[in-house]
Amino acid sequence: MNALLEVRSLRAGYGAVQVLHGFDMRVNEGEVAVILGANGAGKTTTMRAISGMIQRKGSIVFDGEPITRTPPHEIVRMGIAQVPQGRGTFTDLSVADNLRAGAYVHKGIHIESDMREWYDVFPRLSERREQKAGSLSGGEQQMLAIARALMSKPRLLLCDEPSLGLAPIITQELFAILQRLNTENGLTILVVEQNANLAVKIAHSVFVLETGSIVASGTADEIANDDAVRKAYLGY
Amino acid sequence: MPTAIKESSPPHWLARILAVAVLAALALYIASSAKPSTLGNITEACTLAVAAVALNLLLGFNGQISIGHSTFAGLAAFTAGYSVNFWRWNPYVSLAVGLVLCFVLGLALGLPALRLKGPYLALVTLAVAFVWPTIAAKFLDKKVKASTLKGTKLQPPTWTGLTNSRPDRAVFLYWLAVVILVLAYVIVRNLRKSRIGRALVAVRDNETAAAVMGVNLKFTKTVTFGISAAIAGASGWLTAARLDRLDENSFTILNSIKYLLALFLGGAATLAGPIVGAFVYYFVDDYLKTHAPTWHWLPGPISKGPVASFLLGTIVIIFVFIAPFGLVGFIKDQVRRVFVVTPRPLKQAVASPELIEHTSDATAAESSAQD
Ligand SMILES: Nc1ncnc2c1ncn2[C@@H]1O[C@H](COP(=O)(O)OP(=O)(O)O)[C@@H](O)[C@H]1O
Ligand SMILES: [Mg+2]
């Protein structure tokens, strides 16, 4: 299978503090990959390393191109979009302007028709399109954050704990949408999660991250059958 | 229930056109009928408004604080005064050069702003505002002090039909100020409504999210600082055009604080806020200065000294409690009870299977073209 993202001995951190201690990871084109990890394991740091927000060492190759030294604003143009932890919607902008802002890297004319496409996927955003994003519920804001990321027309979508702070039923809806984006739009998705049942259900491959190292990886089935992992992350 | 008006429908356009027409008529009426001293006051209020508009771009929309904007106004004012008086430059050339200098200094100040936030950035810009008068004093000591654009240095062009008499000159300066204010407003408005403007607000609301959307944080923040500084420079140039004399105390930190007060009084991050705020601030201040000193009926020690600044401070504090989003935010809230503007309906995408297939082909072609 064709690797869209290939990470080799990735090391990254903040200043003198190293958080990621050199691991390998591979996300195939057209797949959903999930990184499981407890609080503080380094999941967000991994996302930030891939999207270029922090200094990193080792090698990150996206679609055959090394991006280890590429600044974030160019990585977006290459086709990686990140939904940051805590959603990061622009609360003072309207829903529509959030989406337009998501298309920042495309100066072109397709923006309004792209917006309509995502309004079809997220009808509740369409109803609220002129409201300030700050007035949306948590679930709606997460949908908005995803739709906004999609506006940059990514080939790889990074989702940092999308279920954080959401009611279970909303989380279900969210993962159903992510799965649809994968199967219907062929989008490659990398999700990080703490509570992982739903995430593993839509995943093709799973990585388990503990204190900055990957301690287990495999297909979703393999991981679900691994007793230690199941106890620690799936809770049964 | 408020009445709903559709965005960009005829009534909405009518309301917009009416607003512009009323403002234009008002500007013309004032020019033709006001006394020179009143025109001078309005010119001064416009000058303050230009600086507040500049600060709004930086602080209101981009979230970067500056207490150093008086420095940019001072730089452009002294550039104009000096170059016109000692190098015989055309005053409009001196304006252009002043704006460029301010832009460059703004970029330079934007660099520490990349690493510093909130109170730390405030401190750096505050330091600049503090240092400026000393530098200005050194600069001015060398030559004559009265280096402004007064008298014959900046005259009404002949096509205006105005002479250089005191009343005509007041009209001329008034129009200069109005035109510069309108330009500053239009620049900030167009920026705000554009792709760049959304990026500015995005950076203010969430830097990480803005960066992963492809916004170049360094570039956006420093260039915003530069543009805001240049607009503040235009305000300084107007001051040089209006005053007979500039000295080291013409652009102190107090000016910067006035810009901030005007901005918050009117409403930061709204387009009209800084202008409304500047006019209200200026005229309330002016009124209090002439009327309040005689208010001996005020209680206790308050009535002894000059009470104008005390009262103005009190008014601003009370006001911030009543209307935290400024006058414009307050008025908008009131208007919303009567009228709401509803968004244009979405054009329905035609969902024929052929079309869908076609679009997905197009996206596939596009993505392979990117490879
Ligand atoms: N900005 C930062 N500066 C310094 N240390 C940080 C920063 N962000 C996170 N860390 C540290 O890095 C480690 C991993 O954090 P993070 O990647 O956010 O974990 P996760 O997303 O898995 O909860 C934690 O020990 C955390 O304290
Ligand atoms: Mg995290």
Cβ–Cβ gap A116/B269 under 8 Å? no
For B188-234, what is each residue's pLDDT tens digit? 999 999 999 999 999 999 999 999 999 999 999 999 999 999 999 99
Cβ–Cβ gap B202/A148 under 8 Å? no
A86-95, B26-35, B179-188 — most confident range:
B179-188
pLDDT at A217 over 90: yes
- The architecture of the domain spanning A3-79+154-234 is 3-Layer(aba) Sandwich (3.40)
Q: Supply φ then ψ for residue A159, to 5 degrees.
A: -120, 120
End-to-end CA distance of chain A: 32
pLDDT at B166 over 70: yes
Task: Report the alpha-carbon distance of residue A57 to residue A82 in Å, rounded.
Answer: 20
pLDDT at B85 over 90: no
Contacts of B324 in chain A (CB under 8 A): none
Rounded to an integer, the average pLDDT of B273-285 is 95
- pLDDT interval class at B305 (50, 70, 90): low
Q: A12-16, B79-83, B150-154: lowest mean pLDDT where? A: B150-154
Residue B210 CA to ligand 2 center (angstroms) comes to 18
Task: Report the alpha-carbon distance of residue A33 to residue A5 in Å, rounded.
Answer: 11
Residue B68 CA to ligand 2 center (angstroms) comes to 37
Pocket perturbation via mutation, ligand 1, pick of A10, A11, A14, A50 by most ligand atoms within 8 A of CB:
A14
A189 DSSP β-pair partners: A32, A157
Smallest CA–CA separation between B213 and chain A, in Å?
6
Kindly state the tokens that stand for A194: 């703490």
B34-337: CATH number: 1.10.3470
Res A192: pLDDT: 96
Residue A211 CA to ligand 1 center (angstroms) comes to 10
CB B212 within 8 A of CB B119: no
Residue B53 CA to ligand 2 center (angstroms) comes to 39
What is the domain partition of chain A in residue ranges?
Answer: 3-79+154-234, 89-153
CB B141 within 8 A of CB B253: no
Ligand approaching nearest to the C-alpha of A40:
1
* Among protein residues, the one whose CA lies closest to atom 9 of ligand 1: A45
Res A185: pLDDT: 94
Res B257: pLDDT: 92
B87 DSSP β-pair partners: none
User: For the whole model, what pTM was predicted?
Assistant: 0.87
Cβ–Cβ gap A92/B195 under 8 Å? no
- The amino acid that residue B22 corresponds to is V
pLDDT at A41 over 90: yes
For B317-346, what is each residue's pLDDT tens digit? 888 888 888 999 889 888 888 887 777 766
Residue A44 CA to ligand 2 center (angstroms) comes to 4
Q: A206-215, B36-45, B285-294: lowest mean pLDDT where? A: B285-294
Nearest to A175 by CA among A206, A142, A205: A142
Cβ–Cβ gap A89/B206 under 8 Å? yes
Smallest CA–CA separation between B52 and chain A, in Å?
21
Cβ–Cβ gap B367/A79 under 8 Å? yes
DSSP conformation class of B303: G
Contacts of B212 in chain A (CB under 8 A): 51, 53, 72, 76, 81-82, 84, 149
Task: Report the alpha-carbon distance of residue A96 to residue B30 in Å, rounded.
Answer: 40
A116 touches chain B (CB under 8 A): yes
Residue B205 is nearest to which of A71, A76, A90, comparing CB atoms? A90
- With tokens 């959903």, the residue in question is A32
The maximal CA–CA distance of chain B, rounded, in angstroms, is 83
DSSP B119-162: HHHHHHHHHHHHHHHHHHHHHHHTS-S--SSTTTTS---GGGT-
Rounded to an integer, the average pLDDT of B280-284 is 94
Contacts of B213 in chain A (CB under 8 A): 76, 81, 101-102, 104-105, 148-149, 152
- The amino acid that residue A61 corresponds to is V
**CB-defined site of ligand 1, < 6 Å:** A 14, 17, 19, 37, 39-45
